[in-house]
Amino acid sequence: MKALLVRMILGIDIAKRSMDVMLLKGKARLHAHFNNTPAGIAELCKWLRQEQVCELHVCMEATNVYWEEVAEALYAAGYKVSVVNPRRIKGFGMSQMQRNKTDKADSDVIASFCAATEPAGWQAPNETQRKMRALEQHRLDLKKNLVQHKNRQQTSKDVDVKASLQRLIDNLEGELKAVEQQLADVAHQSKAMRERQQLLLSITGIGLKSAHVLLSLIYDMENYKDARAVAADAGVTPAHYESGTTVRKRPKFSKMGKAAVRGELHLPAMNAMRTNPILRTFAERLRAKGKPEPVIIGAVVRKLLHICYGVLKHKTPFDPNYGLKTSTA
């Protein structure tokens, strides 16, 4: 008689150079330590095979970029992989009254979180998506450095320092243009990516740079559960604070998500408030309710993400008259 497959859980606490894993195998909890290197990841996969792991749900935190290589290796091995916001793990650990703060203890908490909540599976990027994500992350770093050097140049009083900073600024601006061109070239070389890019560009307010941000940093947007899940990933869902009958703080955005997406969509949202009829009407309605401008812009970013999700999910270009049609139907 064939033995029943037992669903196993693997929690991974990842650092730059190492990773601690906790395998929940029936009633057993098996701990192991590996280097966060290609060789260490290969050892982890070998260890899992030795433990006769078949049906496995792997969970790890989205810590910097340290998780990416091991996540892709385990995904390629056929395991279900979940990559979750570290704050979710921290909150779960607090709810379990976690007292110890060690790598082993953290991997145990991550495994327990996975067993208790069964988070959604992560989908590995294809080669085009992987390349665009790397380029976009590099572009954002260059942009950040450029702003820092420009700020320093404005405040510096020394002529030689200002000249040196100008040379750095010139180099960074050149690199920034080159990376933006690379992003455009990579997107153009893929038929599927070209089609997705055109769908996003059909949305009034979304330009080429913001389309590249979305295609790179939320590369599997159409696979999300719904539009709210996309907004939550970007940290633009409302966070309410109420206690008893007297404490009623003004709702604000959670900001528990991809800050780069929020930041890069700020200007497109402001532009869309002027040029996109749906979002202009939406913003006017919020102003009539007395909402402050920062709240309105954040709400427009969220609405813009909802529209982006819709056009990619349904593979249908943006219709600026959609809101009018539905309201008069």
How large is the average pLDDT for residues 285-312? Answer: 92
Contact by Cβ (8 Å): 242, 249: yes
Cα 114 to Cα 48: distance, rounded to the nearest angstrom: 17
Contact by Cβ (8 Å): 92, 116: yes
pLDDT bracket for residue 142 (50, 70, 90): very high
pLDDT bracket for residue 257 (50, 70, 90): low
How large is the average pLDDT for residues 117-128? Answer: 90
The whole-number pLDDT of residue 210 equals: 94
The answer to which of 15-19, 240-244, 290-294 has the lowest mean pLDDT is 240-244
The whole-number pLDDT of residue 253 equals: 52
The whole-number pLDDT of residue 6 equals: 56
Cα 144 to Cα 159: distance, rounded to the nearest angstrom: 23
- Rounded to the nearest angstrom, the gap between the alpha carbon of residue 13 and the centroid of all alpha carbons in its chain is 19
Three-state DSSP at 302 gives helix
pLDDT bracket for residue 15 (50, 70, 90): very high
pLDDT bracket for residue 305 (50, 70, 90): very high
The whole-number pLDDT of residue 2 equals: 43
57 versus 98: the higher-pLDDT residue is 57
pLDDT bracket for residue 248 (50, 70, 90): very low
Three-state DSSP at 99 gives coil
Domains and CATH numbers, the chain: 8-117 (3.30.420.40), 126-189 (1.20.58), 221-328 (no CATH)
User: Of 98-112, 204-218, 220-234, which one has max mean pLDDT?
Assistant: 204-218
**Closest listed residue to residue 113, CA positions, set 177, 200, 24, 16:** 24
The one-character DSSP state at 316 is -
pLDDT bracket for residue 250 (50, 70, 90): low
The whole-number pLDDT of residue 211 equals: 95
The answer to which of 45-54, 177-186, 192-201 has the lowest mean pLDDT is 45-54
- Long-range contacts made by residues 33-41, C-beta under 8 angstroms, separation at least 24? 33/103, 36/66, 36/69, 36/70, 38/69, 41/69, 41/70, 41/73
Whether pLDDT at 260 is above 70: yes
How large is the average pLDDT for residues 287-297? Answer: 90
* pLDDT, tens only, 162-196: 999 999 999 999 999 999 999 999 999 999 999 99
- Rounded to the nearest angstrom, the gap between the alpha carbon of residue 285 and the centroid of all alpha carbons in its chain is 29
